[in-house]
Amino acid sequence: MTASGRDTLTDADGVFTIGDLKPGEHVILLDEKTLPEKSRAPSEPTAVYTLAGRQTGDVNIAVVAVAATVKRFK
């Protein structure tokens, strides 16, 4: 989803398309409820810059792995 409210889904490989964005900067946000277990969105938002009449590709948003919780017993 963009900060302006445009949303999309990814395919099984995480590839997504958001069409008809106005030229300029767009912030991409991840819905953590849809991420794989034991992962979270990056702490910094991802900004994408679009140009009029051009496609913007190769935007990579790294999902952060959450370390396993270790339980210690006395």
Helices (H) and strands (E) counted in the chain, each on its own, are 0, 4
Residue ranges of the domains in the chain? Answer: 1-74
- State yes or no: pLDDT of 8 exceeds 70: yes
Q: What is the pLDDT of residues 13-59, one digit of tens each?
A: 888 888 888 899 988 888 888 888 888 888 888 888 888 888 888 78
Residues 6+ apart with CB under 8 A from 49: 24, 25, 26, 56
pTM of the model: 0.67
Q: φ and ψ at 28, to 5 degrees?
A: -95, 130
pLDDT of residue 1: 62
Do 27 and 45 touch, CB atoms closer than 8 A? Answer: yes
Q: What is the pLDDT of residues 48-73, one digit of tens each?
A: 888 888 888 878 888 888 887 888 88
